[in-house]
Amino acid sequence: MNPITVTNQTILITGAAGFIGAATAKAIMTKYPNCHVVGIDNFNHYYTVKLKQLRLTELRQFTNFTMIKGDISNKHLLDRVFSKYHPMIVINLAAQAGVGYSISHPDNYIHDNILGFYRILEACRHYQPAHLVYASSSSVYGDRNTVPYCTDDKVDHPVSLYAATKASNELLADCYAHLYKIHATGLRFFTVYGPMGRPDMAYFKFTKQILAGKSIELYNQGKNRRDFTYIDDIVEAISRIMLLPADGHRLLNIGKGHPETTIDLVTNLQSALKQSGLLPADYDITAHQTMLPPQPADVNTTYADTSDLFALINYQPQVKLRDGLQRFADWYRDNHHLFKEKPTKKTQHTQIC
């Protein structure tokens, strides 16, 4: 199919105040200043809304940005948005995130990830944008020994409800593409990290705990391996893929293609925090960590085969873990006041992916 030209066109981004959504909106408006980006977000309280407001403050500096507060499961809201703006491209990044949280809050996942995505598909059915790009997840692969993960691997055994909702998104998108001629691309993201990221992610939570003088907990003895992918690499891929509509429905992995252990993550994080001046040079993380068995619904390894991604857009993620964590540490140094912990009795899950 022919590439899309976005000059003077509207791009709709759901979850626009989220980590990937805000970074994607910013990158697109910087790269294509003549397009109009419309964002939707419900500003839920899964993590501090202050962080979402900080992202939104950056986005509002662009004159070609419109923000709408609302829930994508609201059919009437989506009808109004699609009928008013007629987006050429829809990038659906709105979802209830988190693997561990899905164990205790399943309703959120069914409502946001399944009903919400169904509403997006229905809107695309009726208004026929040129391309629907949506977020899936590496979690759909489940826990398997065969690596790297390829998009033609079977994904019929999810080990978390979050993974099950993402796998269902892929099935729904495939069906809608077949029945209603929607052009859809599902992106299986692999452990996205970086400045302004989600505070429940391991690198973020570890930073808060280390700087508070607390011990960090390494599940599965720190042996879990993750394909850590820096946020700039994610949005660069999205900004290229969105211009290339699928002939029907396709799936792509977006990952670094180089899994590293939680121990590797902690070692690099310690170096980054020292370099940014947040930790003294003689700090030894090994004296402040506790080894624990695996968490429920966790997988041992994620590892992306990105050959299809490279073939399509001639690009694959570039940023090394140590460099990405350094950028995060420098950002955290300047914004740590946003993340002061409040006393709580609830158990907080640490998300590696």
Q: Quick: pLDDT tens for 19-62.
A: 999 999 999 999 999 999 999 999 999 999 999 999 999 999 99
Query: According to the model, what pLDDT value does residue 346 have?
Result: 46
Residue 212 lies in a domain: no
Q: Quick: pLDDT tens for 168-203.
A: 999 999 999 999 999 999 999 999 999 999 999 999
Say if residue 139's pLDDT is above 80: yes
Active site residue 162: yes
Write the burial class of residue 347 (CB in 10 Å: 0-12 exposed, 13-18 middle, 19+ buried). Answer: exposed
Query: According to the model, what pLDDT value does residue 353 have?
Result: 52
CATH number, domain of 80, equals: 3.40.50.720
CA dist., res. 166 & res. 163, Å (int): 5
Q: Quick: pLDDT tens for 147-171.
A: 999 999 999 999 999 999 999 999 9
Strand locations in 152-288 (E): 184-189, 192-193, 216-219, 225-226, 229-230, 249-254, 260-261
Query: According to the model, what pLDDT value does residue 5 have?
Result: 96
Question: Residue 351 — pLDDT band, cuts 50, 70, 90?
Answer: low
Residue 350 lies in a domain: no
Residue 68 lies in a domain: yes
Q: Quick: pLDDT tens for 303-347.
A: 999 999 999 999 999 999 999 999 999 999 999 887 765 544 444
| Residue 73 dihedral angles phi and psi, to the nearest 5° | -80, -5
Q: Which of 32, 109, 162, 332 is catalytic?
A: 162
Q: What does DSSP assign to residue 223?
A: T
**Tokens at residue 334, please?**
């300047």
Residue 279 lies in a domain: no
Which domain range does residue 100 map to? 10-191+230-254
DSSP letter string, 238-260: HHHHTTS--SSEEEEEES-S--E
Residue 121 lies in a domain: yes
Total domain count, the chain = 1
Write the burial class of residue 107 (CB in 10 Å: 0-12 exposed, 13-18 middle, 19+ buried). Answer: exposed
Residue 160 lies in a domain: yes
Residue 234 lies in a domain: yes
Q: Quick: pLDDT tens for 100-135.
A: 889 899 999 999 999 999 999 999 999 999 999 999
Mean pLDDT across the chain? 94
Q: Quick: pLDDT tens for 244-280.
A: 999 999 999 999 999 999 999 999 999 999 999 999 9
CA dist., res. 138 & res. 330, Å (int): 28
Residue 57 lies in a domain: yes
Please state whether the predicted TM-score (pTM) of the whole model is above 0.85: yes
| Residue 74 dihedral angles phi and psi, to the nearest 5° | -85, 100
Query: According to the model, what pLDDT value does residue 342 have?
Result: 57
Tell me how far the alpha carbon of residue 212 is from its chain's centroid. 27
Question: Residue 350 — pLDDT band, cuts 50, 70, 90?
Answer: low
Q: Percentage of the chain with pLDDT > 70? A: 96
